[in-house]
Structure 1
């Protein structure tokens, strides 16, 4: 059986107010061709199909047109979709009766039965071969919110457990146990998830941080060693988890911010051999529209203007013209910067998406580091607390102080609500 792992499409996304429908359509057209060319049996979409919880009608049409074309060209194809943190679980699941009739399974949220127990059956998807027989089982676990995970009680009352981390691990164990009870000889178990794993490399500007119950990242140990493959979504950089060949983020199919310019975007082809994964093969996604950073590193304004005037870009239709980020190192305010940049770009077939001014951030000991405005915007309260502590005391904030600050922040958030 052959599977294809993809995630983080973010349909409907705009890049600094530029519509990206053309780029997404190029990817989806390529993906349909790839499914046929690679003779794929199961397509796994590991969350963040849409860029926000209220996607446009155009974004919905793109998704359903893709599904219709994929099924028309590969009637045997089975599709399993889970919701990500950007998706609305209810909206994603709304057309379930129609989709299931065409072999498309969508799991948007974790359901519960009449007794309030988690409905594990909804998370277990049989993957069938072309003969109609079950060849593998998929644990289709969507992005988990605190109310989705089972409650874990420590056997030792003196032991403090993170309810989200341990609840998530318990949910995967329970789902795996159910899958094992259904397995016969030669059937693989695949796990899907949309989460941030320990040591996962994040994109600087485009990923929404997931911090729940104080937990930033989940351990790879929550997946049983007998799981043949783990298909993850959320992080946009394709990467292995904990060095394991068969636990992967496939990454996003196109760069979602200028911080992802250097990424090699891809989908992953998984070849199963009985209950094991035989191979994992990256299939690189062509980039329909280029992203340019000029210069490569922030530089003084006069140097930047000279580089822009020397920029040589071939003529292209407007929808295919490169996006441009201009990176300027400033010592102080420069009110006329946009007009000067636009003058240097006059007549060039590029789309000016962003001017990124960088200023010097000085610490009391005169050491300095450059922070962009986007980086400043990404700072969370705990980041600011860590920085202020380091400035004041010249050392990292101790864990008890961080915990006290987190408790105070959560209390204030609760009061505001």
Structure 2
């Protein structure tokens, strides 16, 4: 198939929106709307030829009506901002694949390609679903997109008994080899863009990200993607990063999804591909609409220091609830922590913040020599209580604690 010479093709690569997510009960919708507005503006300002959403559009398999509405609002705004761009939605492991497939006929009217599952016809990969052209401003085809969603167990070829190593990784590799071979048979050596919702080995995980390869395997090697792929748009890991080579990349999440992501430069990746398939990538970081603050930046505060630390933030008292910073607090405590959370909540309520994480650190107790093991019948209940208390609270019980235990032991 001959390819009309095209100008540079420009892509916007995004993933891991997690629409409908909450943080300790607080809705993330205001943050999502602000980030998605920046995404739409970036797509318009860069005059992109394609927008690729590489999975985990939603946060759960049963997204709320509000989360679905936010997706549709964003697709409407993207189409208005980029009237001719190819827009592709890929299902991730969080997504309800069927819900992304169901409105396909309506999506097609708007020029949106939604791929929830691997589709086959007569056993072969259905390229009418998975392969789509990307055109430049003149209408010339400059690249093709091979859109593959998160691979589920039923999507993978079954490895034979003679396969060495992981059967799951073998199956993922075989799926991509089949898909690329089929695409190449149709488009020749034209620039080819791949998608993947996987954990690729070498990528840095964030706290709470699921290890998603079926069969208990954790990560696929980057060499499952052929060297002649112009670009590989990945989803699943929330940190913007390359893996293996410059043109295999995670765009990262739109907003922080946990305290381990506070320092990430959340945003989107802009990719340019020339006529011979050489690609360059630039990550565009977004401005956060809601601050995420770790107090202190390192170490931990004494409870008596919390109020001063919050005062130093100089936050406006009239800050609306949905714009108040999320605070991840670390405190150090020497004694029992009974009532600690209520005490800290009362302090935080004086300030326009939302406390979403409380980490309690304790001084390390010196290690005493361990006595020889004793049978339970040889132990005194009071000694067992003392050891359990120290193991739980990292301090010895007071005399009042011991008197209370003695009274309870007598009643028993």
State TM-score, norm by structure 2.
0.81
Give the structure 2 partner of residue 324 of structure 1. Answer: 327
Q: CA deviation at 1:184?
A: 4.7
Q: CA–CA distance in 1 between the matches of 2:82 and 2:125? A: 34
Q: CA–CA distance in 2 between the matches of 1:256 and 1:12? A: 12
Does structure 2 conserve the Cα–Cα contact (< 8 Å) formed by 1:313 and 1:348?
A: no
Give the structure 1 partner of residue 201 of structure 2. Answer: 198
Q: CA–CA distance in 2 between the matches of 1:301 and 1:236? A: 32
Q: Mean Cα displacement is larger for which, 332-341 or 91-100?
A: 332-341
Q: CA–CA distance in 2 between the matches of 1:290 and 1:359? A: 28
Q: CA deviation at 1:358?
A: 4.1
- Give the secondary structure class of the aligned counterpart of 1:2: strand
Q: Using a 3 Å threshold, how does the CA distance of structure 1 residues 211 and 364 change in structure 2: closer, same or farther?
A: farther
Give the structure 2 partner of residue 188 of structure 1. Answer: 191
Q: CA–CA distance in 2 between the matches of 1:274 and 1:363? A: 66
Which residue of the other structure, out of 121, 128, 151, is the alignment partner of 2:158?
151
- Give the secondary structure class of the aligned counterpart of 2:216: coil
- Give the secondary structure class of the aligned counterpart of 1:297: coil
- Give the secondary structure class of the aligned counterpart of 1:292: strand
Q: Using a 3 Å threshold, how does the CA distance of structure 1 residues 201 and 139 change in structure 2: closer, same or farther?
A: same
Q: CA–CA distance in 2 between the matches of 1:218 and 1:119? A: 24
Which residue of the other structure, out of 111, 114, 124, is the alignment partner of 2:131?
124
Q: CA deviation at 1:26?
A: 0.5
Q: CA–CA distance in 1 between the matches of 2:327 and 2:241? A: 27
Give the structure 1 partner of residue 224 of structure 2. Answer: 222
Does structure 2 conserve the Cα–Cα contact (< 8 Å) formed by 1:78 and 1:103?
A: yes
Give the structure 2 partner of residue 371 of structure 1. Answer: none
Q: CA deviation at 1:164?
A: 1.5
1:286 maps to 2:287? yes
Q: CA deviation at 1:293?
A: 1.3
Q: Using a 3 Å threshold, how does the CA distance of structure 1 residues 273 and 6 change in structure 2: closer, same or farther?
A: same
Does structure 1 conserve the Cα–Cα contact (< 8 Å) formed by 2:291 and 2:326?
A: yes
Unpaired stretches in structure 1, ≥5 consecutive residues = 367-417
Which residue of the other structure, out of 141, 149, 154, is the alignment partner of 1:142?
149
Give the structure 1 partner of residue 37 of structure 2. Answer: 29
Q: CA deviation at 1:325?
A: 1.5
Q: CA deviation at 1:199?
A: 1.6
Q: CA deviation at 1:361?
A: 9.1
- Give the secondary structure class of the aligned counterpart of 2:87: strand
Q: CA deviation at 1:239?
A: 0.7
Q: CA deviation at 1:310?
A: 3.9
Which residue of the other structure, out of 67, 90, 95, is the alignment partner of 2:103?
95
Q: Deviations over 1:245-276 (max 9, x none)?
A: 11101100111111111111121111110132
Give the structure 2 partner of residue 213 of structure 1. Answer: 215
Q: CA deviation at 1:357?
A: 2.5
- Give the secondary structure class of the aligned counterpart of 2:75: helix
- Give the secondary structure class of the aligned counterpart of 1:296: coil
Q: CA–CA distance in 2 between the matches of 1:21 and 1:264? A: 19
Does structure 2 conserve the Cα–Cα contact (< 8 Å) formed by 1:308 and 1:344?
A: no
Aligned residues: 359
Which residue of the other structure, out of 40, 50, 56, is the alignment partner of 1:48?
56
Does structure 1 conserve the Cα–Cα contact (< 8 Å) formed by 2:293 and 2:325?
A: yes
Please identify the structure whose Cα radius of gyration is greater.
Answer: 2
RMSD: 2.4
Give the structure 1 partner of residue 372 of structure 2. Answer: none
1:347 maps to 2:350? yes
Q: CA–CA distance in 2 between the matches of 1:147 and 1:360? A: 51
Does structure 2 conserve the Cα–Cα contact (< 8 Å) formed by 1:8 and 1:236?
A: yes
Q: Mean Cα displacement is larger for which, 207-216 or 300-309?
A: 300-309
Task: State the 4+ residue runs in structure 1 displaced beyond 6 angstroms.
Answer: 360-366
Q: Using a 3 Å threshold, how does the CA distance of structure 1 residues 331 and 125 change in structure 2: closer, same or farther?
A: farther
Does structure 1 conserve the Cα–Cα contact (< 8 Å) formed by 2:127 and 2:183?
A: no
Does structure 2 conserve the Cα–Cα contact (< 8 Å) formed by 1:322 and 1:350?
A: yes
Q: Using a 3 Å threshold, how does the CA distance of structure 1 residues 317 and 116 change in structure 2: closer, same or farther?
A: same
Q: Deviations over 1:320-341 (max 9, x none)?
A: 1101121123456412112221
Unpaired stretches in structure 2, ≥5 consecutive residues = 1-8, 370-412
Q: Deviations over 1:143-177 (max 9, x none)?
A: 111111122335xx3x5442221111111111111
- Give the secondary structure class of the aligned counterpart of 1:251: coil
Does structure 2 conserve the Cα–Cα contact (< 8 Å) formed by 1:304 and 1:328?
A: no
Give the structure 2 partner of residue 14 of structure 1. Answer: 22
- 1:380-395 matches, cutoff 5 A: none
Q: CA deviation at 1:349?
A: 1.4
Q: Using a 3 Å threshold, how does the CA distance of structure 1 residues 91 and 334 change in structure 2: closer, same or farther?
A: same
Q: CA–CA distance in 2 between the matches of 1:209 and 1:307? A: 40
Give the structure 1 partner of residue 270 of structure 2. Answer: 269
Q: CA deviation at 1:214?
A: 3.0
Q: Using a 3 Å threshold, how does the CA distance of structure 1 residues 309 and 197 change in structure 2: closer, same or farther?
A: closer
